[in-house]
C-alpha cells in the first residue's frame, strides 16, 4: 500500500481547519510530510506553486489555527495551493467554492474545473480530496459507495473526547434526522423509527470506535464512519456520553448530576458553548473564555483509495494533526500506542 502524507498549513475558523490533498491525472498530489499523528513512511509530493510561507503563532492559545478575517482573497488562494477546505457557505462568503477558478489557475490546471470528491465537515480538520478529472471523481465516489455497502471503512478520524467511552472499542448505531430548530440545522436521534420516519428523511447510521489512549478524564479515539450523515461522529460520541472536545453544538445534550452523566432531550436542548470543568481547564492551561473558543478536536486523519490503475496496490493518504490538537494531547498526557 502506498502512503502519502499532507503538511499542516494552519486553519480557518469559518471554513474549517485545512489539509491539502488532491487527485488529478495521472496520479495523486499531496503536500510534503510533516511530523504528527501517524508518521508512517510515505511518498512526499509537492504541488506546483506551493507556498513555503509561515505565519507567527502570536501566543494564541490554539496554535496552527488561522483566522479567516486576517486573510485577503489573494492570500487565501496562495494558502489553498497546498491545503484546501470544503464549505459552500452563504452567498458572498469567502469559501473554497468562491475561489475555485483562482485555485485552478494557481495549480496550473487551465480551464479544467476542480470538484470536491471527499471532505470533512465545516469545523473538522483533515484531508480534502479534489479532482480535475470527472472520470476520476466518478470512480472514487463509486469506490466510497461500494466500500460503505460492504461495511469497509475508508476514512479514519481522530478525536479527543471529554469523557471516556464505557468500552475500549465497539460500534455505534443510531437513527438520525436533520431538523431546522430556531434557524439552525441540528441532527436529532430518533428512537424506534417507523417506516414513515424513514420516508421523511430519517437515516440509519453506523460508526466504529477504538479508544487509543485515556487520561485526565479524556480519551483519544479513532472513529470510522460506515455511513454518511451531517455531524454523525459528533452526535454518536454524545450518545456515548463523551462529546468531542470543542463541540459547541451537541455537547450540551450531556448533563451531569453528582458526577454521573446522562442524556438530555435532544429536541429541547439548545446548542451552547462547551466549557470543560475546572480540572480539565487547568490541564489545558485555558481560561473559561478561551475554552469557549476551543476548536473542534475531530480530524480526518486517513483516507483509503483504490490503486491508480487496475491491479495496483491501494493507496493511503495521511494528514498529521493540527498544532492545537497535538498541544491538547500533550497537556492531557494522551499518546498513541
Report the topology of domain 153-336. Answer: Pseudouridine synthase (3.30.2350)
Contact present, 313 and 1 (Cβ < 8 Å): yes
pLDDT of 52 reads 37
Q: HSE-up of 31 (CA within 13 Å, CB side)?
A: 27
Contact present, 267 and 258 (Cβ < 8 Å): no
Q: What is the 3-state secondary structure (H, E, C) of 229-254?
A: CCCHHHHHHHHCCCCECCCCCCHHHE
Q: What is the pTM of this model?
A: 0.75
pLDDT digits (tens, 9 = 90+) for 237-275: 999 999 999 999 999 999 999 889 999 999 999 999 998
Q: HSE-up of 85 (CA within 13 Å, CB side)?
A: 29
Beta strands in 20-133 (DSSP E): 21-24, 27-30, 115-119, 125-126, 128-131
From residue 328, how far is each of 184, 238, 281, 284, 298 by CA, in Å?
29, 20, 11, 6, 12
pLDDT of 35 reads 27
CA 200 and chain centroid, separation: 28
Helix residue ranges per DSSP H, the chain? 73-80, 100-106, 134-149, 195-199, 232-239, 278-284, 288-291, 323-332
Residues of the chain with CATH 3.30.2350.10: 153-336
Whole-angstrom distance, CA of residue 131 vs CA of residue 127: 13
Cell reading at 241: 456520553
pLDDT by position in tens, the chain (length 337): 554 444 433 332 222 222 233 333 333 333 322 223 333 323 322 333 333 333 333 456 666 555 545 556 666 556 555 443 333 444 445 455 666 666 666 666 666 666 667 666 778 888 878 777 788 888 888 989 999 999 999 999 999 999 999 999 999 999 999 998 888 899 999 999 999 999 999 999 999 999 999 999 999 999 999 999 999 999 999 999 999 999 999 999 999 998 899 999 999 999 999 989 999 999 999 999 999 999 999 999 999 988 877 778 778 888 889 999 999 999 999 986 6
- Phi, psi angle pair for 238, to nearest 5°: -65, -40
pLDDT of 273 reads 93
pLDDT of 159 reads 97
Amino acid at each position: 500500500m502506498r502512503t502519502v502524507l499532507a503538511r499542516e498549513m494552519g486553519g480557518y475558523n469559518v471554513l474549517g481547519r485545512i489539509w491539502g490533498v488532491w487527485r488529478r491525472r495521472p496520479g495523486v498530489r499531496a503536500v510534503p510530510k510533516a511530523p504528527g499523528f501517524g508518521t508512517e513512511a510515505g511518498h512526499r509530493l509537492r504541488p506546483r506553486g506551493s507556498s513555503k510561507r509561515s505565519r507567527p503563532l502570536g501566543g494564541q492559545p490554539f496554535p496552527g489555527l488561522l483566522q479567516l478575517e486576517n486573510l485577503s482573497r489573494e492570500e487565501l488562494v496562495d494558502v489553498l495551493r497546498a491545503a484546501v477546505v470544503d464549505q459552500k457557505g452563504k452567498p458572498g462568503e469567502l469559501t473554497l467554492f468562491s475561489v475555485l477558478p483562482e485555485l485552478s489557475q494557481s495549480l496550473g490546471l487551465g480551464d479544467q474545473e476542480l470538484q470536491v470528491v471527499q471532505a470533512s465537515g465545516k469545523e473538522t480538520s483533515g484531508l480534502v480530496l479534489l479532482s480535475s478529472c470527472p472520470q476520476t471523481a466518478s470512480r472514487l465516489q463509486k469506490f466510497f459507495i461500494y466500500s460503505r455497502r460492504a461495511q469497509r471503512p475508508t476514512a479514519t478520524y481522530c478525536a479527543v473526547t471529554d469523557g471516556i467511552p464505557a468500552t475500549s472499542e465497539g460500534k455505534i448505531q443510531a437513527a438520525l434526522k436533520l431538523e431546522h430548530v430556531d434557524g439552525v440545522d441540528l441532527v436529532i436521534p430518533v428512537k424506534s423509527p417507523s417506516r414513515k420516519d424513514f420516508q421523511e428523511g430519517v437515516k440509519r447510521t453506523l460508526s466504529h470506535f477504538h479508544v487509543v489512549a485515556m487520561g485526565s478524564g479524556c480519551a483519544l479515539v479513532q472513529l470510522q464512519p460506515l455511513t454518511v450523515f451531517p455531524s454523525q461522529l459528533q452526535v454518536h460520541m454524545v450518545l456515548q456520553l463523551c462529546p468531542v472536545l470543542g463541540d459547541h453544538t451537541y455537547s450540551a445534550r450531556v448533563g451531569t448530576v453528582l458526577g454521573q452523566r446522562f442524556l438530555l432531550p435532544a429536541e429541547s436542548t439548545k446548542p451552547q458553548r462547551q466549557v470543560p470543568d475546572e480540572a480539565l481547564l487547568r490541564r489545558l492551561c485555558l481560561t473559561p473564555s478561551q475554552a469557549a473558543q476551543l476548536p473542534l478536536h475531530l480530524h480526518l486523519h486517513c483516507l483509503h483509495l483504490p490503486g491508480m490503475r487496475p491491479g495496483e496496490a491501494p493507496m493511503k493518504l495521511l494528514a498529521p494533526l493540527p498544532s492545537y490538537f497535538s498541544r491538547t494531547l500533550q497537556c492531557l498526557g494522551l499518546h498513541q500506542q
